[in-house]
Amino acid sequence: MMQINSADEIELINRSSSYTVSKSLFCAKIPFFNELWSSQVERQIQFDLSEPCFETLINWVYSDWIVIHGSNFLSMFIVSDHLGIKPITSYCSSFIKANYSAKQIAAFITNKMMDSTIS
C-alpha cells in the first residue's frame, strides 16, 4: 500500500489501480468528493469503475481537458453523473445529441445493458 505523506494527499483505489491525488483539488472539482470529505477523514477510498474512464476523470481534474468519443461517452456520462460532475455530464449530453439519433442511443444502451458492463 502506498504511503500518503502530505495532509492534502489522499489515495483513490479503483479496481487494480491506485492513485495519490490532491484532496483539495478533487473537492473543488468533484461534488462527490467535497460531500464525502466534509463529513469523513478517510485518506483512502475504493471504487469499482471503468479504469479508462476513471483515469480520464483524474486527468480532467488536473488539466481541465477531456476527450469524449464514441467508445467512452456512455461510461463517462454515467460516472460523471454519479459523481456530480455537471460540466462533463453536460458535455457528454451534447456529444450524444450531436452524434446519435434517439434510435441509435436506445440500441446502444440496450446492447450495453445486455453486456452488463460499462467500460
CA dist., res. 119 & res. 73, Å (int): 10
Residues whose CB is less than 8 angstroms from the CB of residue 70 and which lie 6 or more positions away in sequence, other chains included:
99
Summarize the confidence of residues 44-68 as an average pLDDT. 93
Q: Which three cell numbers stand for residue 74?
A: 456512455
Q: What is the CATH number assigned to the segment(s) 9-115?
A: 3.30.710.10
Residue 34 CA, chain-centre distance (Å), reads 14
pLDDT score of 1: 44
State the pTM of this model. Answer: 0.78
Tens of pLDDT, residue by residue over 5-27, are 588 899 999 999 999 999 999 99
Tens of pLDDT, residue by residue over 106-115, are 887 788 776 6
Sequence ranges of the domains in the chain: 9-115
| Strand blocks (E) in 8-119 | 9-14, 17-22, 44-47
CA dist., res. 46 & res. 12, Å (int): 6
Question: Who wins on pLDDT, 47 or 109?
Answer: 47
CA dist., res. 12 & res. 43, Å (int): 8
State the Cα torsion 83-17-63-25 to the nearest 10°.
Answer: 60
Side chain identity at residue 23, one-letter code: K
